Amino acid sequence: MDYFKLRFPPVLVFAGFAILIWITALFLPGNVQLHGVETAFLVIGIGAGGYFGVTGLSEFRRARTTANPTHPENASAIVCEGIFSKTRNPMYLGLQFILLGWAIYQGNLFAIPVALGFAAYITAFQIIPEEAILEENFGEEYLKYKARVRRWM
């Protein structure tokens, strides 16, 4: 399983899960009628996801540290201000909101657990390895941040 750690860019994982959600909705039973509210969920998911993603990225830029998730060892600072004072992973949270909106938009009950699979995958193969590297590089400063701010929300 170490093969998957920090292996794939999260945006690629996101795209893979978006496709899996679509395929799930096409081929599995479980379709439900949402009477038009599915579009609202998609818009809300994209809006929330965009907010978390753009805000997180701009905080990284402001701190002049890398936003490259496949090389967390290149981080030059711990970003703990702004949105990072509420969640340690706003960009992953943003992607999760978009996937949940997409899953609900598909109108299939089985699509929602697939969307939540993204959180499980990203936690196991991206976030936990990132955290280990950040703990190694920043020590007590990062441990205090972890104790203060939740991983997701």
Output the CA torsion sign for 142, 75, 52, 1.
Answer: negative
Tell me: pLDDT of 99 over 90. Answer: yes
pLDDT-based confidence at 61, cuts 50/70/90?
Answer: very high
Tell me: pLDDT of 1 over 80. Answer: no
Residue for token pair 């978006």:
18
Average pLDDT of the chain to the nearest whole number: 95
pLDDT-based confidence at 3, cuts 50/70/90?
Answer: confident
pLDDT recorded at residue 35: 86
Residue 54: C-alpha distances to residues 7, 51, 75, 108 (Å): 23, 5, 18, 29
pTM, entire model: 0.94
CB 95 within 8 A of CB 116: no
Determine which of 33-37, 79-83, 121-125 has the lowest per-residue pLDDT on average.
Answer: 33-37
Overall average pLDDT of the 20-39 stretch: 92
pLDDT-based confidence at 52, cuts 50/70/90?
Answer: very high
Strand partners, 31: 108
